[in-house]
Chains A and B, each alone.
Chain A
Amino acid sequence: MKRTRFAAKIMLAGLLMTPTPLLAHHGQSAVDLNKKVTLKGTVTNFEWVNPHAHFSFDVKDENGKVRNWTMELSTPLMLQRLGWTKTILKPGDPVTATFYPAKNGSTIGFLDNVVLADGTVLARGGSTHAGEQGVKE
Chain B
Amino acid sequence: MRNRWLRPTVAVAAVLAFSQIVFGQTTTPPQLDKAKPEIPAHDFSGVWYGPMELNMVPESVEMLPWAAAKFNSERTEYKVGDRPTVRDNSNTDPILHCNPVGIPRIYWSIHPFEIIQLSGRIMIYYEEFHEVRDVWMDGRPIPRDPDPTWLGTSIGHWDGNDLVIDTVGFNDKTWLDSVGHPHTQDLHLTERFHRVDHDTMEVSITFDDPKAYKAKWTYGPKPVKLKPGWEIGELFCTIEDEKQFEKDIMNPSGKP
Contacts and interface: CB of A to CB of B under 8 A. Distances in A.
Interface of A: 9, 12-13, 16-31, 33-34, 47, 49-52, 54, 70, 72, 74-75, 77-78, 80-81, 102-104, 106, 108, 125-126, 130, 133-135, 137
Interface in B24-73: 49, 51, 53-56, 58-60
A34 B79 CA distance: 9
Contacts of B76: 24, 27, 29
Which 8 A-B residue pairs are closest in the complex by CB-CB distance?
A27-B90, A134-B110, A102-B253, A29-B77, A133-B51, A24-B78, A108-B253, A126-B110
Contacts of B249: 52, 54, 70, 72, 108
A129 B37 CA distance: 32
Given A26-B250, A27-B77, A33-B80, 5 more contacts: A27-B76, A47-B248, A50-B238, A70-B248, A77-B234
Nearest to B57: A17
A72 B51 CA distance: 19
B160 interface: no
Contacts of A47: 248
Nearest to A25: B178
A70 to B, nearest CB: 7
Interface of A is mostly: loop
Contacts, number: 130
A30 B253 contact: yes
Interface of B is mostly: loop
A104 B80 contact: no
A33 B249 CA distance: 17
A83 to B, nearest CB: 14
Interface stretch (B81-89, B150-158, B208-216): B81-89
A28 B253 contact: yes
B123 interface: no
A137 to B, nearest CB: 7
Contact of B55 (A17, A30, A54, A135): A17
Contacts of B81: 33-34
A100 to B, nearest CB: 11
A12 to B, nearest CB: 7
B200 to A, nearest CB: 11
Q: Point out which of A19, A27, A31, A108 has the most chain B C-beta atoms below 10 A from its C-beta.
A: A27
Contacts of B253: 28, 30-31, 102, 104, 106, 108
B115 interface: no
A102 B250 CA distance: 10
Contacts of A34: 81
A125 B112 CA distance: 13
Interface in B120-154: 127
A7 to B, nearest CB: 14
B218 to A, nearest CB: 10
Contact of B58 (A16, A72, A80, A134): A16
Nearest to B219: A17
B172 interface: no
B130 to A, nearest CB: 11
Contacts of A52: 245, 249
Given A20-B55, A22-B54, A70-B248, A29 B60 contact: no
20 contacts: A16-B58, A19-B53, A20-B80, A21-B54, A21-B78, A24-B76, A24-B178, A26-B245, A27-B89, A28-B90, A29-B77, A33-B81, A49-B241, A50-B236, A75-B110, A78-B111, A81-B230, A103-B256, A130-B80, A133-B110
